[in-house]
Amino acid sequence: MKPGTMGFVPRARTAMEAVDLGLGLLQAHWRPVAGVWGLQVLFLLGLFLPFLFRTPLWCLLGYWWLKPWLDRGVLFVLSRAVFGQSASVWDFLREWRAVHRRGLAAGLLWRRLSPLRSYVLPIFQLEGLHGAGYRQRARVLTRQSAGAGFLLTCSGWLFTLMTLVGFLALLQGMMPPGSRVELWSGFDTMTLGFQWFLTAVGILALTLTEPLFVAGGFGLYLNRRTHLEGWDLELAFRRLAARLSLVVLLLLGARSLGAQEPPPAPDGEPVVQAEGAPPTPKHPAEGPLRPQEEAHQRAQRILKEDPAFRHTEEIRVLSYEPTGREPHWLRSFLDFFFAKKEPAKPSGSRNLDFLKGLWDLIALVGKVMLVGGLLAFVLWLIYRFRHRLGLPVAREPDWEAPAAVAGLDIRPESLPPDVPAAARHLFVRGEPRAALALLYRAALAELVHRKGMEIPASATEGDCLRAAGDHLDPGPAAIFKTLTLTWQRLAYKDDLPTREAFEGLCEAWPAAFGGRS
Amino acid sequence: MRQQLFEQQHRQAWEDLQGWLEERPTLNPEDVPPAYRQLCHHLAVARERHYSPALVERLQQLALRLHQRIYGERGEGLLGALRFLWQDLPRQVRGEWRLVAVSGLLFFGTWIGAFLLVRADPNLVHLMLSPEEAARYVQMYDPKTPVAGAMGATRDVMMFGWYILNNVGIDFQIFASGLLAGIGPLFFLPFNGLHGGAVMAHLTNQGLTATFYGFISGHSSFELIGGVLSGAGGLRMGLSLMHPGRRSRVAALREGARKGARLLFGAVVLTFVAACFEGFWSGNALVPWKAKVAVGLAFWTLLALWLLLAGRRGR
Amino acid sequence: MTNLPTPSDPSRIQWAAEQAEALRTEIHRALVGQEAVVGQVLAAFLAGGHVLLEGVPGLGKTLLVRALATTFQGAFARIQFTPDLMPSDVMGHAVWDMKSEQFHLRKGPVFTNLLLADEVNRAPAKTQAALLEVMQEQQVSLEGRTLPVEAPFMVLATQNPIEQEGTYPLPEAQLDRFLLKVQMGYPDASEEAAMVRQVTTDTIGDALRVEGVRPLMAAPEVLELQRLAASVRVDDAVLDYAVRVVRATRQWPGIAIGAGPRGAIALVRVVRAHALLEGRDFATPDDVKSLALPALRHRLQRSPETEIEGLGSDDLLQAILAKVPAPRA
Amino acid sequence: MQPIDTVRTIETPEGVELHLRPAGPVVRLWAFFVDQVVVWMGLILFGIGLAYLGPLGLGLWFILFFLAQWLYPVFFEVLGGGRTLGKRWLNLRVLMTDGRPVGWSPSLIRNLLRVVDGLPGAYTVGLVSTLLTRDFQRIGDIVAGTLVVHEEAGVQAPVLPLAEPVAPTLALTLEEQSAILAFAERSPRFTAARSEELADVLSPLSGARGAGGLKVVLGMARYLWGGR
């Protein structure tokens, strides 16, 4: 064992974290733990074998009682793991005597029910203390994390219980639905078969959860010593001292050194502990079942298995006791408002009915408010977020025909009654630009107001042309296209149309955009 | 630099950050990120120089708390939830239409199958319902039995609570059991489908159409589609587990669960709405049953339109 | 080959329009579909500007550029930008010649007419800066000598919108150097079918087929076209419209930083070229509208809220175009 | 072999490593237990109150039950900084595996998947899962990408014991300096005898034993810390 290497990081932890440290050690070293543990469990089961068939539940009890003996194997492996070593089954067998020599009897007898069992286990197994020394040491060590140690012990029970219930439920779940075997009802009858079954499951559950308990307690122990004694510091200091001088300084008290070496060196200290075979049950349960019991069980079995007795169904209904009369909240409501002109009921129960009606009324108002409020809230939300929700939102402002498109006034009232004539007139007067503009905007006005074409103010000539394609027949559309192109040349290039071209447009205009001419 | 000097120089900065964490701000919010980066730097320096463990631990914990605070997930709030319902959920349903279709088929397929079978041969109902159950359903929808709504408003609230507890819980269970390789939905959906179809056909056979259809039509759309969606969510999760694609199984599962949970969320909202209707509307005896059926059909249409069309327009 | 018409020839616009149409047709021989992209790239080409092409791989970006190069018998070069690409790999460097015992300049791939800078955002900033400098100055400084790059010179840089990891996004300020940012989407179904057919027929491997493209003109004609494009008449009303659109980007909610004056200049430049492509010698507001997106989308910086809401630059620009009134002639 | 520790290291975008300390099944069992007690106490109390309201009360109680059963942990985890009441009691916290606080969706997933962790009857799957995973995650945690960690205790700056600063007679490595500082910080909590015992290990360095040696070592810590 090199003093410098540690299998875990010693830090001052909280108690619960220390438990997790123990579990972490267990996770990392689960293989050797499983090896040693398995060996012990097999040994124990072999020991129980003669009794297993007759009195299984006693075996389960015995197994449970002997757990402190089993724990020692786990603690042995974990104590090696603390120094980064992996203990094998052979190591365990070699150290067999050392592992079991200290405090086994006490652990199995008067310390068996200690609520801090796994927390104090290292004190006598690893430190080898007993008697007054043990008590003092245990008092010091458990002064702070005793609460956590107790919780850990309870967790051990709960985990075992959880595993047990889990297994039972799993098996129950795997029964085919039609088989009608109710595992849980086995607790009532406790046949031998069920006892075997229960023992097997119980031993399995104990076997699976006990190492957790030991590891958690060991974690608490390690952490407490780190807190109390500064293990980590001692190691660092030793490294420093070793670096400083070649002289090995072993000036520490034997105790703290001894505490470092799990398991304790097998020196000749003549501590005799009761060891050997765990106590075997002295009184195996009385022989086979007694006749009365047998008869009882047969009856049970018949009741259970014969379909004639077995038609039971579990029906779960949410039932409410019928009120008998209709509550007539409506009538009470009317009564309430119209000063009970017509007593609806015989007067004897009227008073009560009225109260009942009032109560119904309150409930109704509450309900209406609840539902109404919910509804209003939802509506408000929809309204509030209508934009984000991508709902069709009314255009803001509602679309109305723009007064001007591309800078041209297209309101109908701004147009002369006879557009082509007015345009010709302007053209002759030497205002071809105005003339063409008139033709174009009149055509647009026509499209907007007669054909219902929607053009926003940001539409360019090209947009209008595309939109017009959907609203005009091919003939007029072609004319509108020519008109647009001519207008664009004029507007953006100052390119005057020829007279013929203009005339052509004027002539085609009434037919295409007809309405007013 | 000696530790003492280091502490002296930066103590103020650390205390400021601590104060910001404890809601007594001495820092402007915009100064926090730089101060946090500075702290990270200090932590790295303190570790590198092996300052005393207590100091390193103190800085480490401060940094951890700030990390959590700064990188906390910002919820999208109410608006996000609404947008999810209006856009993302229908989109996702359409995106995962295969799963939704499988889930729907498992549910409605068996439903319709059971319905047709029992309609064809009324005796087949006993394959799926025990006589007591069948009788109980008949009794429940017997016109002479008062329906829930006729029992006053307090009963409505009670039924509402029960429906939420029961139905949403079923949705949750269908979803979560999807993790078992999708077996949960594969079992629950057909089971519920068969049961529902058998009940429906049986009651129709008994001539209880008015009460039965009147009662279920109002909320059926929400509840059944909710069930289908939670089934699809569970299937999504199970599928990610079985076919992780090119990702690790856990990563795929994580992604699948996130997607599935979104479907589930939609399912829960639908089921909640269903419970509202079931509690307050379906049992209402004042409304003629034909009107209820008409309303129910309208809801079916609206829901279908919602799932098919909502959120189609881009952002 | 066409003879150059004299500048005074009234049919020169006619000629230009024919040439432009022919260019378009030839390019479409190699590249099926993507009408808008081809139009925008040609417009940038005629306007003498550079283009940033964004689109997922495999849409024919390289094909487009090679086809364009073939049409005017221009030199074509392609640089694949990688993280270890150095500026000298782009610009060229001096080599010691053992025989003549002199330094020789080895010119880099930028000395060409059409340069395809593939995945430009994968190279580190200094290499990007070198390329952007050439684009701006049209010349290269090597070993103390200034070497002009032959006109016509056009850079088409591509970037992949999805792979953002391990890339160096181009700095916002330098994006300004690109006249247009063209977005290449997926082709529609029929186009894609035609494309697949074309690529898989008579082709071995992945070779790009540009043999079908015929050369149409030579560099002088290109320069003449560019000159003609620059002389297209832009009416004050159209100019004013373009400026108003650009100015609107600066006040628009949801835009943190709008386009600068350079944006308006670029827009008008490319509007001229576009008009020429359409066979007109004057620009209309429609030209402005149809090119505002590619010319401005890379010059905006969205505000954080907008980014969170997922609104793209294009959405914002569309909204602006829908609000800005068309010009009053 | 790597020494066992109870931390999981995450690296932040700022490039520093932060330590999370995953919590194991024992402490989580108790947190769960406390939660259940609280929830059921609440349900029973409300149940008694609501019983006076008749069916209306029953309905409200159903809703409460639903909320307590499914959403109680989610609400507390998201709005209470990753802590339900039980976790608060036992100083636990739920975080994402990268150290961020847990959000609605992961919290919902991890709590809904209790259905799976609870299989076959009494959380056996969850227990086995926590034991088999390195960070004690149950199935719900794995799927949601979350982690239950021990809450940091909030270290206050310890006060170094007063001592005359002494310069070490020889250059110390950083680790050694750190150990001496740590010793000084923790020595008030050791017994005097143990402190001296530890200081004695360093007697080659301090040149003294017993109380004198302790004083020298504490002085060195003072010196290393920065006192002159």
Nearest to D150 among A16, A28, A233 (CB): A16
Q: Are C60 and C31 in contact (CB under 8 A)?
A: yes
Judged against a pLDDT cut of 60, whether residue C282 lies above it is answered with yes
Task: Give the CB-side neighbour count of residue C273, counting CA atoms within 13 A.
Answer: 26
In a domain, C327, yes or no: yes
> Cβ separation of C326 and A489 shorter than 8 Å?
no
Pair (D120, D13) in one structural domain: yes
Q: pLDDT category, D37, cuts 50, 70, 90?
A: very high
Closest C-alpha among D85, D53, D55, D48 to residue D68: D85
Kindly indicate the confidence band of residue D153, based on its pLDDT and cuts at 50, 70 and 90.
Answer: low
- pLDDT higher than threshold 50 for residue C303: yes
Q: How many domains does chain D have?
A: 2
Mean pLDDT over all residues of chain C? 80
**Are D14 and D110 in the same domain?**
yes
Q: Under an 8 A CB cutoff, do D24 and A8 touch? A: no
Where is B62: in which H helix or E strand? Answer: helix B53-70
Question: CA A91, CA C195: separation in Å to the nearest integer?
Answer: 75
Instruction: Indicate which CATH number applies to the domain containing C283.
Output: 1.10.8.80
CB contacts of B136 in chain A (<8 Å) are: 315, 317
Q: Which residues of B touch C311 (CB under 8 A)?
A: 315
Say what the pLDDT of residue B73 is: 59
Are D62 and B157 in contact, with CB atoms under 8 Å apart? Answer: no
> What ipTM was assigned to the predicted interfaces of this complex?
0.54
Residues D54 and D123 in one domain: yes
Contact flag A14-D127 (C-beta cutoff 8 Å) = no
Q: Which of D10, D16, D176 to mutate to test the interface with B (most CBs of B within 10 A)?
A: D16
Average pLDDT over every residue of C292-302: 86
What is the pLDDT, as a whole number, of residue A517? 39
Maximum distance among all Cα pairs of chain A, rounded to whole angstroms: 138
Q: In chain B, which residues have their Cβ closer than 8 Å to the Cβ of A317?
A: 136
Does D151 have pLDDT greater than 50? yes
Q: What is the pLDDT of residues C176-227, one digit of tens each?
A: 888 888 888 787 788 778 777 776 765 555 555 666 677 888 888 888 888 8
Q: What is the pLDDT of residue A337?
A: 37
Chains A and D touch each other (3 or more Cβ pairs < 8 A) = yes
Q: How far is CA C90 from CA C73, C104, C115, in A?
A: 22, 16, 10
Phi-psi sector, C181: left (phi>0), alpha (psi -120 to 50), beta: beta
Structural domain count, chain C = 1
pLDDT at B223: 86
Interface of C with B (CB under 8 A): 309-311, 315
- Which parts of chain A sit beneath pLDDT 70? 1-5, 173-188, 245-360, 385-413, 514-517
CA–CA separation, A480 and A478 (whole Å): 5
In this predicted model, what pLDDT tens digit does every residue of B45-85 receive, in sequence order? 888 877 877 788 888 888 888 887 777 656 566 667 777 77
Residues D86 and D144 both lie in one domain: yes
Residue D116 near residue D47, CB atoms below 8 Å: no
Contact B111, B176 (CB under 8 A): no
Shared domain for D197 and D133, answered yes or no, is: no
> Which residue of C234, C236, C238, C286 is the best one to mutate when testing the A interface, meaning the one whose CB has the most A CBs within 10 A?
C286
**pLDDT value for A482:** 85
Tell me the chain D residues in contact with residue A158 when contact means C-beta distances shorter than 8 Å.
29
- pLDDT, one tens digit per residue, over C212-270 is 677 888 888 888 888 888 888 888 888 888 888 888 888 887 787 888 888 888 899 99
CA distance A56 to C136: 94
Interface of B with A (CB under 8 A): 78-79, 82-83, 86-87, 130, 132-133, 136, 146, 150-158, 162, 276, 280, 310-311, 313, 315
| Shortest distance, CA B23 to any CA of chain D (angstroms) | 15
Residue to substitute from D9, D18, D110, interface B, most B β-carbons within 10 A: D18
Q: Are residues D81 and D123 in the same domain?
A: yes
- What is the average per-residue pLDDT within D102-131? 81
CA distance A302 to C99: 114
Cβ contacts from A onto C, under 8 A: 64
Q: Which helix (H) or strand (E) holds C148?
A: strand C145-148
Whether residue C116 is contained in a domain is answered as: no
Q: If contacts are CB pairs under 8 Å, which of residues 31-50 in chain D contact chain B?
A: none
The 3-state secondary structure of A286-344, one letter per residue:
CCCCCHHHHHHHHHHHHHHHCHHHCCCCCCCCCCCCCCCCCCCHHHHHHHHHCCCCCCC
CB C72 within 8 A of CB C222: yes
Which of the residues in chain B have pLDDT under 70? 1, 72-79, 143-155, 283-285, 313-315
- The pLDDT of residue A396: 42
Across residues C290-299, what is the average pLDDT?
87
Other Cβ atoms closer than 10 A to D159: 9
**Is residue A263 reached through a cis peptide bond, with omega within 30 degrees of 0 on the bond before it?**
yes
Domain co-membership, D128 together with D200: no
Q: Do B50 and D60 touch (CB under 8 A)?
A: no
Residue pair A284/A54 in contact by the 8 Å Cβ criterion? yes
β-strands C92-97, C139-142 pairing: unpaired
pLDDT of A463:
81
Helices (H), chain D: 25-51, 55-66, 72-79, 85-89, 104-112, 114-117, 124-132, 139-144, 174-186, 192-201, 203-206, 210-225
| Touch criterion met for D and C (3+ Cβ pairs within 8 Å) | no
With contact defined as 3+ CB pairs under 8 Å, the chains touching A are B, C, D
Do residue A389 and residue B155 have CB atoms under 8 angstroms apart? no
Q: Are residues D33 and D107 in the same domain?
A: yes
Inter-residue contact A232 to A226 (CB < 8 Å): yes
Q: Are the beta carbons of B225 and B107 closer than 8 angstroms?
A: no
Amino acid making up residue C221:
E
- Residues in chain A with CB shorter than 8 Å from the CB of D125 are 166
Question: Which chain B residues are within 8 Å of D55, Cβ to Cβ?
Answer: 154-155, 157-158
- Return the biggest CA–CA distance within chain D: 84
Which spans in A175-252 are helix H? 186-189, 192-229, 231-244
Neighbours of chain B (3+ CB pairs under 8 A): A, C, D
CA–CA distance, C138 with C152 (Å, rounded to integer): 10
- From B132's Cα to the closest Cα of chain A, the distance in A is 9
Q: Among partner residues C233, C235, C324, which is closest to A458 by beta-carbon distance?
A: C324
Question: CA of A515: how far to CAs of A208, A417, A425, A446, A511, in Å?
Answer: 96, 10, 20, 8, 9
pLDDT digits (tens, 9 = 90+) for A393-433: 444 443 445 555 545 566 666 777 778 888 888 888 878 88
Whether C54 contacts C294, CB under 8 Å: no
Cβ count within 10 A of residue B67 = 24
Q: Which of B243, B262, B244 is nearest to B252 (CA)?
A: B244
Give domain status of residue D155, yes or no. no
Domain enclosing residue C269, as ranges: 232-329
**Is the Cβ pair A27, D134 closer than 8 Å?**
yes
Q: How many of the other CB atoms lie within 10 Å of CB of B44?
A: 16
Structural domain of residue D208, as residue ranges? 174-225
